[in-house]
Structure 1
Amino acid sequence: MTPFSYGGPGSRVLITTRHDTVARSMKVVYCHHVDKLGPIDAWSLLKKQVLTSGKDEPELDMLKDIGLQIIAKCDGLPLAIKVMGGLLCKKEKTRRDWEDILNDDIWSVSQIPEELNYAIHLSYDDLSPCLQECFLHFSLKPKKTILSVNEVVSMWIGEGLVNGGSGILELEGKRYYNELILRNLIEPDTNYPGQFIGNMHDVIRSFAHFVARDEALVAQSGATAKNKLRSHSFLRLSIETKGAESDEFEWRDLTGHKLLRLLMLSGNFKMQPGDSLVTFSSLRTLFIESANFAALLESVCQLKHLRYLSLRSCTDISRLPKNIHELKFLQHINLEGCGGIVKLPDSIVKLRGLRYLSTNDTHVNSIPRGFRALTNLWVLFGFPTYMDGDWCSLEELGPLSQLKELGLKGLENVLEASSIAKARVGAKQYLTALTLECSSRLGDDGLLKARV
């Protein structure tokens, strides 16, 4: 509490919590209990979630009697009403459809813990099997980790959760993502434009963890993870460590889980000589954030089924393995924040199935010749622009016709318009987002030499 002693006169600290014990432990001076919504406000909230246009309001008012009964089963909880609205907006506005929801057997299920509202279970039950899997998968994200819609969808694709037939899987995955938002099971983060970043309410997240409890473990402390890892075998692990807790969690605590398909670690963990990834031969998704990972890097290429590799802010890494091409199924590489990396291995051009590559916030300043062979790339961020004699790195972008999002850096290194034109940006019919980074060119005397 020491930092709060420096507040100015009249300063206040506001704490929000679902548990009285948390408030008491913080020694609050005044505790305000938020009332549940009354019928009028609850009906107004439900209508707001269901209405797609003002023209539908008279039709909806005809269903008010059923709506009020549904609201009563939500016990006046705003989150439950929002989730129920997300479900009802996918149904026809008929008495039969609304009565089916009202009379569903799920309201009387006794196995769900009391704090998990039945409305969420009802909405979950209404999802298609693919959407159910994607919903449960999203809940594995560490709470403090920010994942873009592109990264989320790439994970879903890598685990085979998106069924697109002959269509583009990324577009189908984004449709799944948008439907979960429409149903209020994912909430867009208002700090970011559009629906680029999404989060999950704690109650909904707890429900998802309850449903997936036999296959997945999400832990926010190394000590908690260690205890549960000893007593059960999991297919998916998401563990977040911080501060002193990183000393409690050892890599070897994971080695007994040989059937792992997904591993997400945020924060450091203890390493011992001989530790490797070889044990996890079934791993498809590997997400490491803000950890020292260099000692395990070479063993990454033993993960023959790996589809998704994200090493975010792993500052001890200076390169990718030279034999990265041995990961023949790899679709996603994210090196964002790995400032020690200055070059990509030449063999990366052999990863013909690669669909996502980001080197943002790294020092990668060159790319291997033959990069143009990666024709399945859908997203490419941090692409370095430079000249090597008469050759320009932008030439490698010409054949990449599938690009939907592209980020170029170092444009000050190319002065000739003819070189820039070789990227054929205008011919990329799917391109919807283009980011350009450039700075001024300075001469040896420190004066401005040219402006881009």
Structure 2
Amino acid sequence: MGGIGKTTLAQLVYNDVRVKLHFDLQAWVCVSVEFDVLRITQKLYGSIISQSCCMTELDLLQVKLKELLTEKKFLLVLDDVWNENNVDWDLLKPPFESGARGSQIIVTSRNEGVSSVMGTLASHRLMQMSEEDCWLLFAKHAFKNADVPSSNPSLEVIGRQIVRKCKGLPLAAKSLGGLLRSEVSMRKWENVLKSDLWDLSDRERNILPALWLSYHHLPSHLKRCFAYCSIFPKGYEFKRSELVLLWMAEDLLQPKSKKMLEEVGEDYFDILISRLYQVNFVLGWKKKSRSTVSKTRHFSFMKTSDHGFEKFEALHRARHLRTFLPFRPYSPHQYFPMSNKVLYDLLPMLQYLRVLNLSDYNIKELPGSISNLKHLRHLDLSRSSIENLPDTLCSLCNLQTLVLRNCGVISKLPSHFGRLINLRHLDVRGTNLEKMPPNMGKLKDLQLLTDFILDKQSGYNIAELKELQNLHGTLRISGLHNIVHVENALEANMRDKKYLNELVLKWGDDIEDSQKDREVLGKLKPHANLKELVILFYGGTRFPDWLGDESFSNLAYVRLSDCKFCCFLPPLGQLPSLRTLWIQRLNEVVSIGAEFYGSNSNGVLKPFRSLKELRIMNMMEWREWYHIGGNIGEGGMFPNLCGLHVSNCPKLTEILPLDKLPKLEWLELWNLKSFSGSLSQESHCPKILSLSRLEIWGCPNFVCFPSYGRINAPKLVDMDIRTCVKFRSLPEQMHTFAPSLQHLTIRSCSQLESFPQGGLPPALGSLEFHCSKRLFASRTQWVLPRLSSLRKLMIRFEECEVVEDSFPEEGTLPTTLTYLSISNIPNVMKINGKELKRLVSLEDLTILDCPKLRCLPEEGLPSSLSRLRIGGCPLLGEQCQRDKGEDWSKISHIPHITVDGYDI
């Protein structure tokens, strides 16, 4: 039954914090009616890697997905499944079989038969809500104030009658509650109660009557916008900005005196989401009659490799077509063919087109006859192979939106581009444009201009920006080194562009005039409303005074990169809203100190009072980082800093004292050749009360933790130390001072002598370490069996030939282990079966790079084992061959066995 809450319940489980902590990976796919194995696999893979998946070979894709899921405890949700074909399910599920024990798949479906095909557990059948619960849900959405129902008993009486008609379906109750929210007219409530839509026949009830009512009572202008959305495929993830531009192109937005059309569209979108956020569209392809085609106004379809003329021939009769909108499948980087006959003969005939989308098509040019499309408002050529635009494009006087995003070949725009006086959105991100055309200043309605490029001949053109006062979003100005006269930069009038959120200023690699660059940047001072600022390849030796001025009260993100002649950082400490700061490749900066923190008028405010994340990278000459005391009070210079990353700064010897960073949650120190490990100003054990993650990688002079080798970090969960060749010891009394530690990784630290006295923290659940000669010599002090929470143990031996004959020694491993990996023991000949048999919870065993290991133990392996991986063990691998090896009988019961990367 639709609307009963299946998806909502699955979402509650999926998003629960406890569930997220329990599983290594999570992924969610809306399957819907068409059970497309390739699409579902693409979506699962893309959900896990957090980006779109472009692979179209199912076999290769399943191999990749299997690699991601192997040894991982995962939770997958397949939402809204209709298919009962077990062949399709068998084709989809092979990658899932590689996951760790405890992995789960949740399936939601209206169809009981799906459960029998896909399920291994009894299905959970949701029942309708009680009438009282349904009323409470309805009232929550219908009344802003919870007391309103009792203060208006007439509305409550009608409301309870409406709820009775919802028949216990939460979606119906929420939808109607949202429809009547803040509505005090009894007549409106009675109209809903007595509507004929409640009496739809069963055949007509593909959509809940409550949802019909929500639509029926929308204002007419919102109905039109909502109806337009039906051209999108089911499950489509709407982007507000994208949909608003299409509504605007179709004249569906009603202008308001004090609002731009884009803002009106955003309001429409928000209202529809609040009222109809659970409505799904069902689109079906049917053969259209000739008369139907002739009346068609909007044409949308899914792109395929077959886009010959025959597919679109019927559009010859759709002379009043307004929308040509293809959708790409789940392969975002694929080019699709487009017949020249369609491009040159058909499309120019559709003279009423308002929206033309040719994104992802392998077309190199547009026909000159595109000028026939006098009504065209929206042209999208993104990710196409377009090389140039015809001059006739500039006669499209109604064009509002031109999208050239990621058209990597196009290098110039038509010379008469300034004639497109109604253009509001120009997206040229990811293009190869070398310069902007003349007369850009005539495009005074521009709301979005993603890039403005200057070359040596057009450096003066920056003055064209003067008239573009309505720019919103992000503006990237590149080629600033090509400005000849400094005054041209002032003419750009950046300080009056109050709607810009982000400004990117980019010079070139070759610095010709450092003083000119400084003056240019000084005259490009933006409006104080700016939220993000990026400066790249700036050639000045100092930054101008405005950078760091506390009047920039909205500036939340700053990135300074490749400013290779700057000797000092700007006074960014006084920016009141700065939350994220990136500094990289400022190679003349030797020290960071008072000039960085700045001063304010009253001398009391703490520097960087809002900063949450600080990253400093690739600073080749940076040696010293000074902190300041004085009257700034507890919390030092960074009272709210949560994350600090410092990397590839070879001359830096120490960082700020961590006990002066009271809110620090994570610290990453990578490739600091001179860093010696001073993390505290005090001689006593430093208190780092908020720190939960610590990474120290590639710091060859880091020997040990300071202050008697102790670190008081009660919330520390994850510690990772790698390639610190002089690192000698972990913090003393870790079991006391880092009681919450759950994950500890130590790699390539050959001087580590022992684990801390008193043992490792009792909460430790995962331990990975490279075992050197020194560490192996102290193995009797490891006391790993005391770690009652340890589930995952990975030991790799480095330059350690002392391990002979048998490993592991008896009594050295905790019986709680579920995963054990042993690798790189050159002399070991056999596995201690008695010790392994003690591991009654072991599910996953990995043995790697043990060339002399001949066989598995006579005692066999733990019966709990579900996965065995062997690699780089040629003698043992031979013994474990399926049906032939002498050890096959010892492992044949194990479900998943891999030898040298191959499943057997």
TM-score between the two structures when normalised by the length of structure 2: 0.41
Partner of 2:215: 124
Partner of 1:342: 411
Partner of 1:285: 355
Contact 2:234 2:281 in 1 (8 A): no
Partner of 1:160: 251
Contact 1:250 1:271 in 2 (8 A): no
Partner of 1:11: 103
Partners of 2:365 and 2:507 lie apart in 1 by 39
The 1:337/1:240 distance shift into structure 2, 3 A limit, reads same
Partner of 2:444: 375
Identify which range, 228-237 or 134-143, moves more after superposition: 228-237
The 1:45/1:305 distance shift into structure 2, 3 A limit, reads same
Partner of 1:265: 326
Partners of 1:90 and 1:414 lie apart in 2 by 58
Query: 2:452 matched to 1:384?
Result: yes
Partners of 1:173 and 1:439 lie apart in 2 by 33
Partner of 1:274: 341
1:22-37 equivalence runs, <5 A = 23=115, 26=118, 29-37=121-129
Counterpart among 458, 466, 474 of residue 398 in structure 1: 466
Aligned-partner residue type, residue 466 of structure 2: G
Query: 2:153 matched to 1:65?
Result: no
Partner of 1:41: 133
Aligned-partner residue type, residue 76 of structure 1: G
Helix, strand or coil: the match of 1:274?
helix
Partners of 1:28 and 1:87 lie apart in 2 by 41
Aligned-partner residue type, residue 135 of structure 1: F
Shift of 1:118: 1.1
Contact 1:442 1:448 in 2 (8 A): no
Partner of 1:310: 380
Contact 1:387 1:393 in 2 (8 A): no
Counterpart among 477, 484, 492 of residue 423 in structure 1: 492
Partners of 1:287 and 1:75 lie apart in 2 by 43
Query: 2:431 matched to 1:362?
Result: yes
Shift of 1:399: 0.5
Partner of 1:196: none
Partners of 2:110 and 2:415 lie apart in 1 by 53
Partners of 2:407 and 2:235 lie apart in 1 by 19
Shift of 1:372: 0.3
- Percentage of matched positions with identical amino acids: 28
Deviations 1:167-206 (A, max 9, x none): 64333333322322232x2x4xxxxxxxxxxxxx4x4423
Query: 2:307 matched to 1:239?
Result: no
1:64-143 equivalence runs, <5 A = 64-89=156-181, 91-92=183-184, 94-110=185-201, 113-143=204-234
Partner of 1:333: 402
Partners of 2:153 and 2:362 lie apart in 1 by 58
Partners of 2:212 and 2:465 lie apart in 1 by 47
Partners of 1:303 and 1:320 lie apart in 2 by 15
Ranges in structure 1 where 5+ consecutive residues have no aligned partner: 188-200, 207-217
Partners of 2:187 and 2:505 lie apart in 1 by 60
Deviations 1:31-52 (A, max 9, x none): 3333233223322322232233
Deviations 1:122-147 (A, max 9, x none): 12221222111111112323456655
Q: Based on CA coordinates, which of the two structures has the bigger radius of gyration?
A: 2
Shift of 1:351: 0.6
Contact 1:337 1:360 in 2 (8 A): yes
Contact 1:396 1:423 in 2 (8 A): yes
Partners of 1:18 and 1:421 lie apart in 2 by 64
Give the structure with the larger helix fraction.
Answer: 1
The 1:301/1:90 distance shift into structure 2, 3 A limit, reads farther
Partner of 1:437: 504
Aligned-partner residue type, residue 211 of structure 2: I
Aligned-partner residue type, residue 430 of structure 2: D
1:211-222 equivalence runs, <5 A = 218=283
Partner of 1:198: none
Deviations 1:331-368 (A, max 9, x none): 11122232223322222210111112111233334211
The 1:43/1:371 distance shift into structure 2, 3 A limit, reads same
Shift of 1:375: 0.7
Partner of 1:193: none
Partners of 2:434 and 2:206 lie apart in 1 by 52
Helix, strand or coil: the match of 2:379?
strand
Give the aligned CA root-mean-square deviation in angstroms: 3.5
The 1:20/1:386 distance shift into structure 2, 3 A limit, reads farther
Helix, strand or coil: the match of 1:237?
strand
Partners of 1:288 and 1:37 lie apart in 2 by 47
Partners of 2:116 and 2:461 lie apart in 1 by 61
Contact 1:384 1:408 in 2 (8 A): yes
The 1:95/1:232 distance shift into structure 2, 3 A limit, reads closer
Contact 1:307 1:332 in 2 (8 A): yes
Shift of 1:425: 3.3
The 1:305/1:36 distance shift into structure 2, 3 A limit, reads same
Partner of 2:72: none
Ranges in structure 2 where 5+ consecutive residues have no aligned partner: 1-91, 329-334, 512-536, 538-561, 567-585, 587-904
The 1:345/1:273 distance shift into structure 2, 3 A limit, reads closer
The answer to which structure, 1 or 2, has the higher relative contact order (CA under 8 A, 6+ apart) is: 1
Helix, strand or coil: the match of 1:64?
helix
Shift of 1:10: 2.4
